[in-house]
Amino acid sequence: MIYLIGNWKMAPEKNTQAVDLVKKTAVIAKQYKKTLVTVICPPTPFLSLVSKNTKVPLLVGAQGVAASEAAAQTGLVSASMLKENGAQYCIVGHSEMRARGESNDMIKQQVDRLLEKKLIPILCIGEKSRDAQGWYLSEVKDQLDTAFADVSALQIKKLIIAYEPVWAIGAGAERAATPIECREMTVFIRKFLNDKYGEKIAKAVPIIYGGSADEFNARSFVEEGGTQGFLVGRVSLDAKRLAALAKSISQEKK
């Protein structure tokens, strides 16, 4: 199965727009349910509303979680709250969160809290820049080492890793990442998992791509990049584009 995870970020603005987008995405999820696992991650204020308007095969995730369950944390949301309001997945470690100050240690705690509540973390990892010497691999390894320090072999199978090359996304992108660069990192992550948990478990953990993927280039990231899915932003807010992307990655390899 290929994962198609939509990160709505801070959109849409209205409840009615959120419900409309859920319904349109649900049609896509149902059409491609044999080949795709489709997840939507709305802003927290819409989480309960979206969950109530969602049916399997469309699944629901959150965009962030507090590092602890302590009540005295203004503005944050606990894993218990997310679960109570219908979340099954949750994004952690996104580059935008890291840019706002979340450290590897904080992200590790978030992963732990989600696993405790039996929610599936979508752990984003990735380098800020690339160098010819390959030091960027150490940056990614540090993120992996910290996040999985206390994660058991049983728990790791309940987790998704999203490779997110920070230098290739957003308004400040240096350039687009290539499928070959995606494959290199997928192999690197898989080796890390193999060394820590063994080959069988390493093969079972989904590794998806969180870069700038769309309906035009996504298939190449599946065939050449070795990705098992996508974490997409703005494309997930446009049902027509999302449907086109779903169709492209659902096709049999030629």
Closest CA to 84 of 68, 107, 60: 60
CA distance 84 to 78: 10
Q: Are 77 and 66 in contact (CB under 8 A)?
A: yes
Q: How far is CA 10 from CA 133, 135, 190, 228, in A?
A: 37, 33, 32, 26
* The one catalytic residue among 96, 127, 164, 215: 164
Check if 69 is active-site.
no
CA distance 109 to 112: 5
Task: Tally Cβ neighbours within 10 Å of residue 240.
Answer: 11
Check if 199 is active-site.
no
CA distance 205 to 113: 19
* The one catalytic residue among 94, 102, 127, 215: 94
Q: 71: buried, middle or exposed (CB in 10 Å: 19+, 13-18, 0-12)?
A: exposed
Closest CA to 35 of 251, 254, 253: 251
Active site positions, annotated: 94, 164
